[in-house]
Amino acid sequence: MVDVSEQKPTQGRHLLVACVLIALEVWPVGFNLGAYGTVFWSDLFEIWVVSMVTLLAGLYLIQTSATRPPIHGMDLVAMLLPSLWFVSQAIDRIYPAGPLSAVQTVLEILTVIFALPIVIGVVMRVTMPETLQLRGLRQNAVLIAITLAVCGGSYLIGIRNDLLFTCEDFKVSGDDPPANCFNPPQ
């Protein structure tokens, strides 16, 4: 029997951990988008909470750190996107005749496509920096390819959820069944 506590971290383990953590975050977003045609508020809210906490801690670290803080440049912009989307949503509810619906759509898309990967990357960079120390273009390409495969796969499974799940599966879990869920004959 091998004592894994004695083993040194390897690039393969770093890649595996990074892939799993990213997949856990992007899977529900892709599945719900495929099954329901939308990104759920809870997914957006989760992205917002993590981005705000990371942004606030990052701003503090920028002020107090003698070395380069873990959050900088585009990270800060990405951390602001979910908040900008929430503010535009609130303004549109207060002033419904305003021109913000197109802005909201753009901000929502940017939050999911642009901010989500950066938020995940920043959190991983801060909490487990060794995980993102992938060596070489090949491992980075593998990480991106696996992430895209998970996104695409979860979206396609969401679209064709009727092949895997019944309407009852969704009801039992507390979810509304998608329009195309499988309803077996009684």
- What per-residue confidence (pLDDT) applies to 94? 84
Q: For residue 134, how many other CB atoms are within 10 A of its CB?
A: 18
- What per-residue confidence (pLDDT) applies to 2? 56
Residue 6 lies in a domain: no
Residue 146 lies in a domain: yes
* Distance separating the N- and C-terminal Cα atoms of the chain: 52
| Numbers of helices and strands, H then E, in the chain | 7, 0
Segment 128-132 long-range contacts (CB within 8 Å, at least 24 positions apart)? 128/17, 130/9, 130/14, 131/14, 131/17, 131/18, 131/21, 132/14, 132/18
Q: Exposed e or buried b for every residue in 101-112, given b needs 16+ CB within 10 A?
A: eebbeebbebbb
Whether pTM exceeds 0.95 = no
Residue 166 lies in a domain: no
Residue 124 lies in a domain: yes
DSSP type of residue 130 = G
Residue 138 lies in a domain: yes
Residues of the chain with pLDDT under 70: 1-9, 11, 66-69, 98, 131-136
The count of structural domains within the chain is 1
Residue 174 lies in a domain: no
- What per-residue confidence (pLDDT) applies to 146? 92
pLDDT tens across 32-84, in order? 999 999 888 888 888 889 889 888 888 887 778 766 667 778 888 888 988 99
- What per-residue confidence (pLDDT) applies to 134? 60
Q: Are 166 and 184 in contact (CB under 8 A)?
A: yes
The pLDDT mean for the chain works out to 83
Residue 1 lies in a domain: no
- Determine the 3-state secondary structure of 37 from DSSP: coil
User: What's the domain range around 126?
Assistant: 11-161
Residue 140 lies in a domain: yes
Count how many residues are written for the chain: 186
173: left (phi over 0), alpha (psi -120 to 50) or beta: alpha
